[in-house]
Amino acid sequence: MHALRLLLILPTPAAPASCAEVVAPVDAPPIRSPQAVHTILAHRFRGLSVVEIGTRNGDGVACWAHFAKTVTAVEMDKRYCQRLRERQSAAGAAAFDVVCSPFPSGWSAHSAWSQTDVFTWWVGGDGNKKLLKQLTNSSSRFAAHAEAVILFDTRYNIDLLSWNALRPWAKWTRSAQIRLHRAYMYSVAATHLELAPRAHTDTLTRL
């Protein structure tokens, strides 16, 4: 069984190219992560094959498609899938793939499984444990270097607890705040972990 390297990403100071330059967002924080966060991930995803689980209206993937080798949106909600299809058709050269089904059931037959470099999501709390378990149980099916990129909003206790539970395996950890407007600060934490197969059970137990 391959090890799953787990990367929980955090915004850092603004990169030269911004997602705001290429994407007209549909959603607004805190419904989704800020465009500043998407920008940081975009540079991390440059040249990689990326799968986002739970894409909603696709503000993130619409940006990452300008940077990544391939981007796939996995979304089970039919309303969001319709919007994703519309954005996909209008994306031109920066197009992304759309899988309209739950993860991993509808994804299991997708040819890109073994070619994915990064799985990413922001679902919060117990959802992190569920998705990590699904990935680790299927780790023989994806590349040995595959990573998971998980966002945490540390204003919420359920996210903070999940993040803290994973930090013992961190190669590095950092946090940042992004001011969206005068009254609202968006706090995100990120941790980079490399999980050996024998550590999977202990890690998931801590979540």
Is pLDDT larger for residue 1 or for residue 54? 54
Higher per-residue pLDDT: 1 or 88: 88
Mean pLDDT across 24-39 = 79
Is the pLDDT at 19 greater than 80? The verdict is: yes
Helix or strand holding residue 133 (H, E): helix 126-137
How many Å is the maximal CA-CA distance in the chain? Answer: 48
Instruction: Supply the pTM of this predicted model.
Output: 0.80
φ/ψ (deg, to 5) at 125: 45, -125
Q: How many residues does the chain have?
A: 207
Contact 71, 50 (CB under 8 A): yes
SS (H, E, C) 84-121: HHHHHHHCHHHCCEEECCCCCCCCCCCCCHHHCCEEEE
Tens digits of residue pLDDT in 125-170: 778 878 888 887 777 777 777 787 888 777 788 888 887 777 776 6
Residue type, 27: D
Structural domain tally of the chain?
Answer: 1
The pLDDT of residue 15: 40
Asked whether the CA dihedral 194, 197, 202, 207 is positive or negative, the reply is positive
CATH classification of the domain holding 55: 3.40.50.150
Share of the chain above pLDDT 90, in %: 21
Q: What are the tens digits of pLDDT across the range 37-73?
A: 888 888 888 999 999 999 999 999 999 999 999 999 9
Q: Which residue has the higher pLDDT, 61 or 109?
A: 61
> Which residue from 5, 11, 16 is spatially nearest to 35, judged by alpha carbons?
11
- Residue 48 sits in which domain range? 4-206
